Amino acid sequence: MAKNVPALYVWPEMWRWLGTCVLVLGLLTGCNDDNDDNDSAPLSYTKTIADGRVAVQQALSQTNTPSASVALIDGDRIVWSETFGTLDPTTQTAPSSTTMYGIGSVSKVFAAMAVMKLVDQGLIDLDTPLLQYLPDFRMAVPEYPQITVRMLLSHSAGFGGTDYRNTFTNVAVPGYAAQVQQSLATQRLKHLPGEMAVYCNDCVTMVEPLVAAVSGRSYTQFVADEILAPLGMNHSRYALEPFAAGSFAPGRTENRVDPQEYTNGYATGGLYSIPNDMARLAMMFINGGQLGNVRVLSEAAVAEMGRDQTQNLPFNPIPTFHWGLGWDGVAQPGLAAVGVTAWHKNGGTLTYGSEFFVAPTERMAVMVTGASVALNAGELAERIMLHALAESGRIAAVPTPLPNTPLLEQPATDADLAAIVGYYAQFEALLRVEALSDRSLKISIYRNGTWTEISSGLKQRIDGRFSSDAEPNVAYRTFEGEGRRYLAVRRPAGMKHYLLEIPFGEQVAPAAPLSTIWQERVGQRWLMVNEDALSIPLVQGTPPYLALDVVDGLPGYLFASTETTSQIVDPAGSDTLARMFLKIPVNFGRDLSDVLIETRDGEEWIRYGSTLFRPQASVPVLPTGDSAITIGAEGFVEWRKLPMAGTVAITGASAWKLYDADLKLLASGQGDGAARTDTAGAYLLLYGAQNAMIMLTLAAG
């Protein structure tokens, strides 16, 4: 579920090998002796495994990933299954072949399978409107009845993107899918249903109530009954309750082992699994829906999942990405560059990073997963597959990286520069393209009130793109579509033997000045009131605020800013609604929300997605001595400001957090407790059941 932004890694010296090799079900694995010289024996992929071990170990070291696990599949056998790293830095315990990892958005493959299982049973038709199966589904626009089941699985329904409230927690939070459906009932679409495809977690989350309504079973039970059990995936499960200690690979913060992560969007990212279980899934796909004598899906269902769902989209200006049903793509570009077709799915949470490749024609697959989202699992999977394809003779050789040779320069004219200079917005940042005196370009990115240069010395080349001499394979151009202008970036990906181009931002022109009412809100902060106390961002200390800001040089727009992102919204035409408005296919137009002003008890609150924020400026001051606070009927948290340094005793709260004046987390606790601040102006956040009374005692000193 986490955002799929490619990362580049520079390999350091190889660290001490901590891999644990395992023998799987008597199948040939990478720990066996080399038998490549025996023509009658299956290929043991000795060279691929040796290279893969080095690559995984280096990736763990470079990214500070605690542990990882890998499986390579050839036909109906696992040829390599190995674990690396440690589960606990104190005990140096290594992961085993049955250690579970969160597979993040690879879970979407199971969501698509669940739907296709119901298609096989004649209970769902992909092109029937969702409303027929979920009569209570609603949105705040008239077009929502056009949304079909297929659009959920192909990211083309038009939802804003991801409801991150309560997505990642340290305790199970049931009802997340119901939360998403309830929130969608108040939301607009960012594009017409079926118009284009933008990565969308909420689309797949809605598969949960769909499967439950049609099958009569909860989504997680349906997947367990119809997919996991028949495939013998005995070490794969959703985090519905605490796992046994040692059964899963935890993340790590500095040198501390993190608590178990719960991804509460089960369909979109909630499954834990092991590579050997995922190998069984891969074998099922390789064999057209069947594993051994067990048929899970029809051949037609598997083929439909692997069919390009983007071909007939009305707006698909750079057809580089070919999403299937549940798959990120049905032609993984690094393998397509050498003539091999592979279905692929990336997965990331706040803790885990995974990659799953299945090449149905070559009958090969790989699963890589690690206990850090920083692990570049995609590049590792691509590397392992390319080496295996070469070693088995399916391709001539492992491809080499593209040369870094600049194209000839074609000096930019005034018209060329005018066509690209300006501001471009994406889902969490703003880009500024500037022309310099030498007619080259500089690109800067704006996040959290700061402009940071990301590229410079960009010269126009004979192909019309702008690139630098230092990074000639990273090139920018503009294109037009839907009456809008876009910035595209093309850069090497994976093993750097191919280029990928993607829409990078939508041009935003200065607009009419903000209304007086919106201007009065600029610079103010609002504080969250409905996020679970064990939401991982809150546990990790992310300040729970939203601010409305502006950017010099781009009048007429607002930026809804948190500690980590800044999203542009358009307040024109309304003093209570600032609209999401970007229409960027693929990835950089994901996770958008309207900013809606709600009046509560005479105060202006903000609803942003499903998260509700109260004004920071009106937080009541906690009096000295004893006082009582009652949690309201809606169960929202209560905030209090401490007027002085001192200690506050807390009785009756289910949880509490203490922040300093800048909303830096100072202390937190569950149940009764006490917190101290050495300065005035601290903020106390209090949780409790609906209508619960919390007793507080503030003492100076």
Residue 36 pLDDT more than 60?
no
Taken in order 65, 69, 74, 80, the sign of the CA dihedral is: positive
- CATH number of the domain to which 246 belongs: 3.40.710.10
Strands of the 682-687 sheet, one edge to the other: 638-642, 682-687, 655-659, 665-670
pLDDT at 40: 61
Residues ≥6 apart with Cβ < 8 Å to 677: 642, 645, 646, 658, 660, 666
pLDDT at 39: 55
Tell me if 148 is assigned to some domain.
yes
pLDDT at 74: 98
Confidence of residue 33 (pLDDT cuts 50, 70, 90): very low
Confidence of residue 23 (pLDDT cuts 50, 70, 90): very low
Do residues 543 and 459 share a domain? no
pLDDT at 701: 75
Tell me if 49 is assigned to some domain.
no
Tell me if 355 is assigned to some domain.
no
Give the integer Cα–Cα distance in Å for 289 and 302: 6
Do residues 466 and 577 share a domain? no
State which of 316, 332, 348 marks the end of a domain.
Answer: 332
Do residues 548 and 611 share a domain? yes
Residue type, 381: A
State which of 508, 531, 559 marks the end of a domain.
Answer: 508
% the chain with pLDDT above 70: 94
Do residues 576 and 636 share a domain? no
- Full 3-state SS string of 612-650: EEEECCCCCECCCEEEEEECCCCCCCEEEEECCCEEEEE
Do residues 529 and 504 share a domain? no
Residue 587 pLDDT more than 90?
yes
Give the integer Cα–Cα distance in Å for 681 and 700: 13
Residue 323 Cα to chain centre, angstroms: 16
Residue 28 pLDDT more than 80?
no
Do residues 242 and 295 share a domain? yes
Do residues 126 and 230 share a domain? yes
The dihedrals phi and psi of 605, each to the nearest 5 degrees, come to: -100, 165
Do residues 227 and 256 share a domain? yes
Confidence of residue 7 (pLDDT cuts 50, 70, 90): very low
Do residues 544 and 608 share a domain? yes
pLDDT at 564: 82
Report the range of poorest mean pLDDT among 17-31, 240-254, 604-618: 17-31
pLDDT at 17: 26
pLDDT at 1: 53
Taking residues 318-326, report their average pLDDT: 94
Taking residues 81-94, report their average pLDDT: 94
Give the integer Cα–Cα distance in Å for 298 and 312: 24
State which of 615, 642, 677 marks the end of a domain.
Answer: 615
Do residues 482 and 559 share a domain? no
For residue 691, the 8-state DSSP code is: T
> Mean of the per-residue pLDDT values for the chain?
93
Tell me if 9 is assigned to some domain.
no
User: Judging by beta carbons within 10 Å of its beta carbon (0-12, 13-18, 19+), is residue 440 exposed, middle or buried?
Assistant: buried
Domain count, the chain: 4
Residue 568 pLDDT more than 90?
yes
Residues ≥6 apart with Cβ < 8 Å to 606: 526, 546, 595, 596, 597, 598, 612, 613
Do residues 211 and 147 share a domain? yes
Tell me if 385 is assigned to some domain.
no
- pLDDT tens-digit profile of 176-232? 999 999 999 999 999 999 999 999 999 999 999 999 999 999 999 999 999 999 999
Structural domain containing residue 315: 101-270+283-332
- CATH number of the domain to which 692 belongs: 2.60.120.380
Give the integer Cα–Cα distance in Å for 271 and 574: 42
Tokens describing residue 672: 């009764």
Taking residues 617-640, report their average pLDDT: 97
Residue 32 pLDDT more than 60?
no
Residue type, 214: V
Tell me if 571 is assigned to some domain.
yes
Tell me if 151 is assigned to some domain.
yes
- pLDDT tens-digit profile of 400-446? 999 999 999 999 999 999 999 999 999 989 999 999 999 999 999 98
- pLDDT tens-digit profile of 485-532? 999 999 999 999 999 999 999 999 999 999 999 999 999 999 999 999
Do residues 453 and 305 share a domain? no
Query: Which pTM value belongs to this model?
Result: 0.93
pLDDT at 19: 33
- Virtual torsion, Cα 167, 6, 591, 501, nearest 10 deg: -150
- pLDDT tens-digit profile of 667-685? 999 999 999 999 999 999 9
Tell me if 548 is assigned to some domain.
yes
Residues ≥6 apart with Cβ < 8 Å to 174: 264
pLDDT at 255: 85
Q: Which residues pair with 561 in a beta bridge?
A: 547, 566
Q: Is residue 176 helix, strand or coil?
A: helix
